[in-house]
Chain A
Amino acid sequence: MSQKITIDPITRVEGHGKVTIHLDDEGNVVRSRLHIVEFRGFERFVQGRPYWEAPVLVQRLCGICPVSHHLAAAKALDVIVGAGTGHGLSHTAEKVRRLMHYAQIFQSHALHFFHLASPDLLFGIDADPKIRNIVGVARANKDLAIQGVMMRKFGQELIQATAGKKIHGTGAIPGGVNKNLSEEERDKFTKGESPMNPEAMIAWAQSAIDFFKGYYKKNKKFIDTFSVFPSNHLSLVGKDGALDFYHGAIRAIDNEGVVILHDVNYQEYFNYIHEEVRSWSYMKFPYIAEIGENGGWYRVGPLARLNTCNFIPSPLAQTEFEIYKALTNGKPNNMCMHTHYARLIELLHAAEVIRDLLNDSDLQGNELVRTGEKRHEGVGVIEAPRGTLFHHYRINDNDQIAMANLIVSTTHNNEPMNRAVNQVAKSMMTGKKEITEPMMNAIEVAIRAYDPCLSCATHAYGQMPLEISLYDAREKLIDQKKKE
């Protein structure tokens, strides 16, 4: 009898996404889908609003990485007010924004590691879900839990100092920023009592990497073989191919490292990246136009970034990067679970950049905003914690937004996440008429590696709830399991 299985990675009733798997009469997986069930309509309802509202308005898409949306929108508007892209701003404005953004990467990566990955690492993937969450971590290893809380706090307070608020701030405005960082504000961090200073954060980031390496040593086979598949990779890269979260050109490579997009200008992203619409998901499917819908999909995020960049421009993270690259002989890394490793190297890099920026007197400069000849269209792109984020606006003669297009990080990973689910389903589901606990775990772990916003939402403190329903070919429910 052929069957259909439904998995709700987020509870059905809370609905942000779910998975369905279809089996044929022999029990083989014929199709699987990750459905994104949320739709807001931002592209349409921001039309008519004055353009300068975009950075504060559109960040309400996501409260987990609002700074990324805030800055991507501001970068698009920099172009519209004639300040140009990236380096067109004053040193003060660019560096204040960078500080805000690296603080965001730092807090988001720390949150992911301590709240999400550490329960798995401490207790093991198969441990009782009741303890496999941050509450369990707090009880089992209070020091680790406190580290996680304080790292997030450090990042959030830096965001507050630069953006005015921890969540949904207002610091970036078209052409620059609305305030600099005073010496007093700076000293709060540079002279902060331990652990609230950059040196302590660097040390903790380093120890998080060591913690992971220890886990990797013991679980090498799992980390190296779980959900591995070749793909293209895409990210921004800075000057000379440096890892850069704030600004750069678009580079894409294939699974062997052959360059597909050669550091192209993102103002013309729509010539290089197209999106496919599928009837069963509100989330679109981007692909590299030149290759086409079938082979043009790619990954973004920490794994992709460490594949596309040539080096990391800070010494401690570069040392770790070299160790990490040696694992694949310098070739692109297509091992899904290594995303966690890559994320921690980025965490260390963010901490180093924060320390250097805080020591830069440009932050106390007074030239906050630059403008030039007004334009009607602009694109802003940034590397958000979860990957490349695109904002594109067009305005009319009344300064109202006439068109908005957004491609968010999780959207780029739509196809890879679908593939990951398919792969797990194929290897664990084939020939089974019943949904097993290990399979639910495996699907959860595969999706979680991408830290998708849809589920990092539910993940933020614990792990992903799953619901699986098994249907026959006539769509009749024959089995249902929930993980509670």
Chain B
Amino acid sequence: MEKKKPIVATTSLAGCFGCHMSILDIDERILSLIDLVEFNKSPINDIKKFTEYCDIGIIEGSCCNSENVYTLKEFRKNCRVLISLGECSIMGGIPSMRNGIPIRECFEEAYMHGPSVKGHNPEMVLPNDPELPMILDRVYPCHEIVKIDYYLPGCPPRADLIYDALAALISGNELKLPYEVVKYD
């Protein structure tokens, strides 16, 4: 009987997609990876909703709006193991530099004061349509919203680290986390 492959799901919350790009940087190994694991809900395929319970969920990015929180909770519900991939997911990363600044100021800067809008927005229009998700008061790292099982540091974590971590999880071996990867950049 064929052994069932581990199922992996991934998502990008408030991240820059660099962590997902770093997964691609495993280069030729991507071809062996797709033989080793089955991808469920992920930007890498067309599956939008979880179709079954997954073994590994990989989260890039932090939570900066209401939809991010919803997605993250869905991942926790549907994955046995959750990995925070990269500094945005772990600590909030660069997007969390807005923490401490009133969101209104961020809006005014982008939509009223910028040199290419200044004077061209006399009615002071700000994006506020019901179709747009609610922006949170601050950016929340993932572990403040749900329990996270593993953290892979880096911005982005280097490709080798991602591959080794997945291989370790799949094989049940311990992951060696070299000293030099435990840092922001």
Contact surface of A with B, Cβ cutoff 8 Å: 6, 11-15, 18, 20, 33, 35, 37-41, 43-47, 56-57, 60-64, 66, 111, 129-130, 132-135, 138, 142, 145-146, 149-150, 152-153, 156, 165-168, 269-270, 273-282, 284, 286, 392, 403, 405, 407, 457-463, 465, 467, 482-484
Q: Least Cβ distance of A421 to chain B in Å?
A: 14
- What are 7 A-B contacts with C-beta separation under 8 Å? A40-B98, A133-B45, A149-B27, A274-B120, A282-B132, A460-B17, A462-B44
Residue of B46, B67, B113, B120 contacting most chain A CB atoms (<10 Å):
B46
**Of residues 42 to 90 in B, which have CB atoms within 8 Å of A's CB atoms?**
42-49, 51, 64-65, 67-68, 70-71, 74
**Complex interface: chain B residues within 8 A of A482 (CB):** 48-49
**Complex interface: chain A residues within 8 A of B44 (CB):** 133-135, 460-462
Partner of A167, one of B18, B95, B115, B121: B18
Q: Are B18 and A168 in contact (CB under 8 A)?
A: yes
**Complex interface: chain B residues within 8 A of A167 (CB):** 18, 21-22, 25, 156
Q: A11-B48, A279-B125, A482-B49 are in contact. Are A41 and B98 (CB under 8 A)?
A: yes
Q: Are B18 and A57 in contact (CB under 8 A)?
A: no
Partner of B114, one of A18, A111, A153, A275: A275
User: Complex formed: what's the CA distance from A280 to B125 in Å?
Assistant: 10
18 more A-B residue pairs beyond the given contacts A152-B24, A168-B18, A461-B24, with a C-beta to C-beta distance below 8 A:
A11-B48, A13-B70, A20-B131, A37-B131, A39-B110, A40-B95, A40-B98, A41-B107, A43-B110, A43-B114, A57-B94, A63-B17, A149-B30, A167-B156, A276-B120, A277-B117, A280-B129, A286-B116
**Of residues 81 to 129 in B, which have CB atoms within 8 Å of A's CB atoms?**
93-95, 97-98, 101, 103, 105-107, 109-111, 113-117, 120-121, 125-129
Q: Are B31 and A146 in contact (CB under 8 A)?
A: yes
Q: A12-B67, A14-B71 are in contact. Are A63 and B133 (CB under 8 A)?
A: no
Partner of B49, one of A149, A282, A484: A484
The chain A residue with its CB closest to the CB of B35 is: A138
The chain A residue with its CB closest to the CB of B30 is: A149
Which bucket holds chain B's interface residue count?
Answer: 35 or more
User: Complex formed: what's the CA distance from A350 to B157 in Å?
Assistant: 28
Q: Are B156 and A484 in contact (CB under 8 A)?
A: no
**Complex interface: chain B residues within 8 A of A15 (CB):** 65, 67-68, 133
Q: Are A18 and B131 in contact (CB under 8 A)?
A: yes
User: Complex formed: what's the CA distance from A57 to B155 in Å?
Assistant: 11
User: Complex formed: what's the CA distance from A381 to B45 in Å?
Assistant: 34
The 8 A CB mask of B135-164 against A (1 = contact, 0 = none) is 100000000000000000001100100000
